[in-house]
Each structure stands twice: as C-alpha cells, then as structure tokens.
Amino acid sequence: MFGFVFIAALAALAFAGINFYGVKRMNQGTDRMIEISGAIREGADAFIRHEYGLIAKIAVLIALALGIVVSWYTGVAFILGAVMSGSAGWIGMKIATISNVRVSNKARETGSIGETLKVAFRGGSVMGLSVGGFSLFGLALIYLVFGRFFGQLGQEQLLIKANWLGITFIPFTMTVSGYALGCSVIAMFDRVGGGIFTKAADMGADLVGKTEAHIPEDDPRNPATIADNVGDNVGDVAGLGADLLESYVGALISSVVLASYMFYTNLTAASGSISYDLVSHLLVYPLIFAGIGTISCMAGIAFLLVKKISDHPHHELNLSTWISALLTLIGTGIFTWFYFSGQDIAALGFRLGALSPWFAAVAGIITGILIGQLAEHSTSFDFLPTKQISEASREGTALNITQGLAVGMKSVFFPVFVLAGAAICANAIAGLYGVAMAAIGMLSFVISTVSVDTYGPIADNAGGISEMSKLDPSVRIITDQLDAVGNTTAAIGKGFAIGSAGLAALSLFASFLYAQAMPNDTDGYTLNLNFINTMTLAGGLVGAALPFLFSGILIEAVAKAARKMVQEVRRQFREIPGILTGEAKPDYTTCITISSAGALAEMKLPALISVLTPLAGGFLLGADFVGGMLIGTTLSAIMLALFTANSGGAWDNAKKYIEQGHHGGKGSDAHSASVVGDTVGDPLKDTVGPSLDILIKIMAVISLITVSVFQDYNLVTWISSLIK
C-alpha cells in the first residue's frame, strides 16, 4: 500500500515537472514583454528569499522547542512539514512568474481564449500537482520512517506514553501533528506575508492610479504596478499553495490522530473493542484515499491539456474538476469496499457497512461542491448579487460598499448550514472518524482545485504584462475574461479550504479531548466538555473574539503598507512630472521595497498570536478554557472567513462587470465607486479570509500537542492547591 502512495506522489511531482518545462519552452513574446516579466520575477524572487530566510529561523526555533519539550521526532516531523509546504510555495511562485508572459504572448499570437486558457491552466497545474505531490510524499515518509522503521505504528506503540517532562501522548499522533504544524506555520507566514505584500501594492496602485490619475489598471506609468504584479505571485500563488497544502494535510492527520486515540481509549467498549488490525486499516486508509485522488486529478488535468478547448473558460475548468471528482469517487469507492470487507467494523459505529467511510467522504465532496456553488452565486457577475453591487455603484461609493457588505453577510448562512448538515450526516454514517473523512473527501481532488485557483493570478499577471507592453487591446480583453473567471474559482477554492478546516478542526477538537486521557485511562473513557462550565464558557467567548482581533491586525497591517505606497506613488507623480506623459520612467523598485518591508515587518504578530494564544490560555486557565476557546474560534473564524472571501470576490467582480461596458464602463462614476469597493475588499478576500482557516488548525494542533501539560500545570490549578 505504501508503494502505491509513493508512486502517486512521485507521479504528481513528475507531471508537475513536465508541465513546468513545457511552459518554460514557450515563446515569451516581445523584448518589452520579456523586460517587464523579468522585473516581476526579480521582485518575487527577492521577496520570497527574504521571507523564507526569516521563516527558516523561526522554524528552527519551533522545531528545537518541540524536540526538547515533546520529542525529537516531533521536531523532525515539523521540519519535514515546513520543507514540504515551503517547496510547494516556492515552485508555485516560480511557475507563476514564468507562465504570465507566456500566457500574454499566446493571447497575442492566437487571439484565442481557449488556447490562452490552456497555457494558464498548465502553469496553474504545476502548483496543484506540487501541493498534492509534496504533501503526500511527506506523509508517506512519516509513515515509512517513523511508523514502520521506528515502530510507531506497532500495537505496543499505539499507547499513551510519558516523556521526560511527564507530557503524555501517543507517539505517532505527536509525529503527524508535528508534520501538520510545520505545514501550518509556513502556510500562515506565506499567506499573511504574501497577502500584505500584494494588497498593499494593489491598493496603492488602484487608489492613486485609477481614482486620482485616471489611468488604466496595470498602466506602466503607475509606479506601483510592478509591485502589484509581484504581489499576485507571492500572495495569490505561493500563499495559496501553502494554504491549501496545509488544509489537505490537516484533514488527513485529523483522521489519523482520531483513530489512534479511539483505539487506545476503546470508546465503543460496550459493543466490542477496536482490534489492532482494524485500527491499522483506519490509519492507512486516508493516505491511500488521497493517493487515488491524486491519480484521478492527474487524469482530469491531462484531459483538459490534450482536448480542444472552447472559448468558455468556466465550462472547461469545471469539466476538469468534475472529471477529477468523478474518478476519485469511483476509485475510492471500489477501494473502500475491498479494503474494509471482512473487517469487524461494528465497534466503530459504521452504520452503512464497509462503505461507511466512503459515504462520509462523499458527504464531504457534496458539501464542498455546494459551498463552491454558493460562493459562485455570491461572487460571479453571472448572478444577481454581484450585479446588484455594480448597479449600486451608479449611486456612489457608499452604496457600493453597503451593498457589498450585505452580499457578504448573507453569503455566510447557507454555506454554514450546509457544513453543519455535512457534520451531522458524516457523524451519523461513521462517527467522528466519518467527520474527519468528510474533510478529506472535500479536499480529495485538491490538486484540481489548486490548479484552477492558481490559473487566475497567472491570467491576472498576463493582463498586466499586456497592458504595460502596450499590446493590442484584444489581448487584454482575453486576459480579463480569464481573470474574471479566476476570481470566482478563487472564491470557490477558499470555500473548500474553509469548509474542510471546519470539519478537520472538529475531529482535531475531539482528539484534543481524547488526549486528556492518562496512561491509566482505558475502557470507558468518554469525551467531556461542559459548556455551561464557567471556564469553558469564558474560553468560548475569548475564542469567538480572537478571529476579529486577528483580522483587525491583518487589515491594519495592509493599511499601513498601503498608506506608504499611496504616499510614494503620489510623490513620484508630483516630483517626476514626465511620468504621466510617458516621458519619464517610474521608480518601480522603491514600491516593491515598500510592500516587501511592510509584509516582512507585519507578518510576525499574526503568526505568533495563532501559536501563543492556546499556550497562554492553557498555562493560565487550563484545559477547559482552551477547549471552549477552540470551539469559539472555530465557529467565529469559519463565518468571518466566508464573509470576507465572498464579499471581497463580489466587489472585485462587480468592478470587472462595469469594466465590460455596463453602467458606463471604464472611466465612469460607477467605475470609480467600484474601484474603491474592490479596494476595500482586497485585504478581506486575499489576506484575512485565507488566513483564518489556517488560524483554526494551528490552534487545534498546538492545543492537541500541549494539552497534557496544561491540564495539570496551569495557574488556576496552582492557586487552587495553595488555597486548599
């Protein structure tokens, strides 16, 4: 079985390499196009080097702390997770900066939407295949090295052990948790840092260039335009890849951790204990499920790359995703039947026989599709909500923003309703393990999802290059059409990430409760968290408020950097008069430096909050407080993430709808109002929203790792002992 997983991971990485060099061999176009793309690539490379240099230092410190306080293998697994996540982000950034100019040139040479889409999608597929390949390869190494070679998957090791500090845990759960934490920390820095960079540049370029100077988007006269295009690569590509890799890994390890504690505590002892053979199947099943999904996604991507593409990009992208999802369903269904047939599954509460975990995963897939469709309805200008925002823009900026807020707020209810239904359904089918499988199902074709998501920023960059290279306007029309579809697909991808984060967090939370079991707790151990307990309720209140603090810090960070960008662009327009007449060249480098410095300076605090908050809460107030905090944070963050992602996407596409000629088109008062609305939405959809689902899982994993410590060692317990 491990052989299949390794083959699937390596095949995905090999396919990524083929597509990488396939895109690289394409013609880059004119000298001006090559010059501009080179500047974008140089800026992105410089930022990612500085960012990864900082992240590496922090990662080493965290790994050392985990190695000393918990176990050496937790620290090693953390480093492996960080390397896998960082590698995916770096490769995604590289392919994006290589693909953008090729996409623009393909539109210039062919004038075909379909042919241009194929180049952008091939570039995006490198990111998708890297996310799936690296995450699966890293987990397979964890299973092989620590699970098999060091024996952590052996029956005698699936027990609660105590380390030299008295911290109790099941060794393999701590190893995979360390791996997941490594992925999560890198994703947090990539998303936050990249998000601050791209939105500071984007806001600065739009607020001065579009609304004050009345020059087109991506005009070479705008000093911030290169920084804006750099940001698309470091934020919307590198950050995106690390984000969804983290979601994918988090979903996979949630089932592994849950199965391990279920086996130890014998939660269903009344109906019979869980055998070691059965738990072995439960521990390996998610990995093989993911491997089948990987192969299926490769087929879906290959189909789109070899077929003749129509001029309907949304249809073509949906077709690739649907093929991937269908093949995943068929392949995993057949595998599940044979894998669990003959197993004594009564003790697990599998109510639909051997196919129970598959049905739970199907519930997750259906949920992901529904959440995606709901996101599309809220953000695509093919539907009424976004059209209403563009219509409101005719009456000014205030009504554009008001209508966008209304769309975003209303867009939260039905996805949350669907998510709640999925959790209930999955639990009814296969218990808490089924909930974890629902999260895995939702992300089982993550390779296709990321491929589609990444193509959007590549198309956006291609549009910028075409504008700055002064290509025929027909080229920009093609890239704008592709970019508009990309905004919608990005909102759909964010919906998948948020939904899976919620389900994975639920199963990790259950594992958090199990992890409070001590070595002498065996049969009859039950989950217990009393929400009317004052400490738990207090934790819930604090946890619910935390995403708002976290989001406020992120928005403020973007605003700080954006203000500096606005001041710099105004300075250049004022002090270098020849810029607007095309007689002088703007100083692009200074704007890139402003975004880079702002991102590197401001990304530390949000990451520290996500790591330190559960630790501080635990050591001060104990496990009950942290349990409540996890519930509050998860619920609040899911809703806030949906609101920010959908409102931001709707504002963006409302602007693009006007730019297509509706309500006066470009240069109209409605367009100016929509630019401001889009600017308000930028940090919401590309910085805040994507970071919140990472916040959920970092807090859950940190709490899981440390709960056995602060369960007994906390300030409240110490004070109580003194009073007694």
First and final C-alpha spacing in the chain: 56
The two tokens of residue 627 are 């349990």
Q: Is 60 exceeded by the pLDDT of residue 527?
A: no
Q: Using the predicted structure, report yes or no on whether residue 626 has a pLDDT greater than 60.
A: yes
Q: What is the pLDDT of residue 490?
A: 64
The band of 494, judged by pLDDT with boundaries at 50, 70 and 90, is: low
Taking alpha carbons only, the member of 240, 222, 311 closest to residue 456 is: 240
> Would you say the C-alpha torsion 577, 578, 582, 587 has a positive or negative sign?
negative
> 3-state class of 306 per DSSP?
helix
Least confident of 265-279, 366-380, 405-419, 693-707: 265-279
**SS3 assignment for 453-495:** HHHHHHHHHHHHHHHHCCCCHHHHHHHHHHHHHHHHHHHHHHH
* Rg over CA atoms, the chain: 25
Averaging pLDDT over each range in 491-495, 509-513, 619-623, 704-708, which range is the top one?
Answer: 619-623
Q: Are 99 and 479 in contact (CB under 8 A)?
A: no
What pLDDT is stored for residue 308 in this prediction?
81
- Contact of 438 with 367, CB cutoff 8 Å: yes
Q: Give me the pLDDT at residue 597, please.
A: 84
| Distance from chain centroid for Cα 253 | 16
Angle between helices 240-265 and 276-306 (to 10 degrees): 160
The rounded distance, in Å, linking the Cα atoms of 291 and 403 is 43
In whole angstroms, what is the distance from residue 486 CA to residue 236 CA?
Answer: 11
What are the structure tokens assigned to 588, written together? 């692009």
Q: What is the rounded average pLDDT of the residues 459-477?
A: 83
Looking at residue 141, the DSSP 8-state letter turns out to be H
Q: What is the DSSP string of 517-564?
A: --TT--TT------TTSHHHHHHHHHHHHHHHHHHHHHHHHHHHHHHH
Quote the CA–CA distance of 108 and 441 in Å, as a whole number: 40
Pure H helices in 163-312: 171-204, 225-233, 240-265, 276-306
pLDDT at res. 514: 73
What letter does residue 211 receive in the DSSP assignment? Answer: T
Cβ atoms of 618 and 716 within 8 Å: the answer is: no
Q: Within a 13 Å sphere around the CA of 353, how many CA atoms are in the beta-carbon half?
A: 6
Q: Which residue has the higher pLDDT, 581 or 642?
A: 642
User: DSSP string of 372-398?
Assistant: HHHHHHHH-TTSHHHHHHHHHGGG-HH
pLDDT reported for residue 714? 78
Average pLDDT, the chain: 84
Q: Does the pLDDT value for residue 602 go beyond 90?
A: no
Please report which confidence band the pLDDT of residue 481 belongs to, taking 50, 70 and 90 as the band edges: confident
Alpha-carbon distance of 404 to 415, in angstroms, equals 18
Contact criterion met (CB below 8 Å) for 136 and 246: no
Residue 702 pLDDT > 60, yes or no? yes
Residue with the bigger pLDDT between 667 and 416: it is: 416
- Report pLDDT for 553: 92
d(CA 677, CA 639): 21
Quick count: other Cβ atoms within 10 Å of Cβ 718? 10
Residues 6 or more apart whose Cβ sits within 8 Å of residue 488: 314, 375, 376, 379, 380, 649, 653
With CA atoms as reference, report the closest residue to 196 among 682, 721, 723.
682
| Percent above pLDDT 90 for the chain | 23
Lowest mean pLDDT among 295-309, 545-559, 580-594: 580-594
pLDDT at 492: 66
**CA distances (Å), origin 46, targets 39, 186, 188, 257, 458:** 11, 18, 19, 38, 19
Give Cα 218 distance to the centre of its chain.
27
Check whether 272 has a pLDDT greater than 70: no
Q: What is the pLDDT of residues 321-369, one digit of tens each?
A: 888 889 999 999 999 999 988 777 777 778 888 899 999 999 988 888 7
Residue 27's region, left for phi above 0, alpha for psi from -120 to 50, else beta, is: beta
CB 207 within 8 A of CB 193: no
- Residue bearing the bigger pLDDT, 52 or 711: 52
The residue-averaged pLDDT of 71-84 equals 92
* CA-to-CA dists, residue 14 to 26, 130, 294, 302, angstroms: 19, 9, 12, 13
Q: Are 555 and 644 in contact (CB under 8 A)?
A: no
For residue 161, the SS3 value is strand
Q: Which of 79-83, 485-489, 561-565, 681-685 has the lowest mean pLDDT?
A: 485-489
Residues 6+ positions from 182 with CB-CB distance below 8 Å: 59, 63, 77, 78, 79, 80, 81, 82, 83, 84, 85
pLDDT reading at 384 higher than 80: yes
In the predicted model, what is the mean pLDDT of residues 282-301?
Answer: 92
What is the reported pLDDT for 489?
66
Say what the pLDDT of residue 477 is. Answer: 83
* φ and ψ of 169, to 5 deg: -170, 165
Q: Residue 546 pLDDT > 70, yes or no?
A: yes
What is the value of pTM for the model shown?
Answer: 0.86
CA 707/CA 615 separation, integer angstroms:
9
Q: Average pLDDT, stretch 24-44?
A: 86
Q: What is the mean pLDDT of residues 603-626?
A: 87
Long-range Cβ contact pairs of 327-332 (< 8 A, separation 24 or more): 327/295, 327/296, 327/299, 327/300, 328/292, 328/293, 328/296, 328/297, 328/365, 328/444, 328/445, 329/362, 329/365, 331/292, 331/293, 331/295, 331/296, 332/289, 332/292, 332/293, 332/358, 332/361, 332/444
In total, the chain counts a number of residues equal to 724
Residue 524 has pLDDT above 50, yes or no: no
**Residue 301 is encoded by which pair of tokens?**
């991507």
- The C-alpha torsion from 590 through 596 and 602 to 604, rounded to 10°, is -150
Are the C-beta atoms of 455 and 95 separated by less than 8 Å? no
H helices, E strands: number in the chain = 21, 2
What six digits make up the tokens of 583? 């007689």
Q: What per-residue confidence (pLDDT) applies to 167?
A: 76
7 pLDDT band, cuts 50/70/90, is very high
- Contact (CB, 8 A) for 103 and 123: yes
pLDDT one-digit tens code per residue, 203-250: 878 778 777 877 776 778 888 888 887 877 777 787 777 777 888 888
Q: Is the pLDDT of residue 400 over 90?
A: yes
The secondary element (H helix, E strand) that includes residue 169 is: strand 168-169
Look at residue 271 in the predicted model and tell me its pLDDT.
Answer: 46
What is the C-alpha separation between 213 and 487, in angstroms, rounded?
A: 26
Q: How far apart are CA 690 and CA 606, in angstroms?
A: 13
Helix (H), strand (E) at residue 221? none
What letter does residue 156 receive in the DSSP assignment? G
